[in-house]
Amino acid sequence: MHNWHNEFMAEYHRQDILQEAEHIRLERIALQSRVYQPRLFERTMFKFANWMIVTGKQLRRRYEVPCVDCPAPSGSFAR
């Protein structure tokens, strides 16, 4: 009778371990599928990078485009 009881308990514990492993797997899947929520630092850096890009484009437009209506080239692209 003890052997049957030990086998029953071993099977019970095995199923319990399998259920726990499945639960952990589902928790990992749920954590990976969350929507990305940027925090304050990420939002600030994103806005700062966009500001730098816009400012750089304005500076390039100002200094790299040669003066078309200048009578003589001065060597400087600044207007």
pLDDT at 42 over 90: yes
Separation between Cα atoms, residue 16 and residue 72, nearest integer Å: 87
pTM for this structure?
Answer: 0.40
- Over 60: is that where the pLDDT of 29 sits? yes
Residues 4 and 19 both lie in one domain = yes
Question: Whole domain around residue 56: which residue ranges?
Answer: 38-65
pLDDT at 25 over 80: yes
- Considering the domain boundaries, does residue 2 fall inside one? yes
Angle, CA of 15, 33 and 40, to the nearest 5°: 130
pLDDT at position 44 is: 95
In a domain, 61, yes or no: yes
Tally of domains in the chain: 2
Residue 11 clears pLDDT 60, i.e. is over it:
yes
Any domain includes 1:
yes
Instruction: Evaluate whether 20 touches 12 at the Cβ level (below 8 Å).
Output: no
CA atoms within 13 A on the CB side of 75: 0
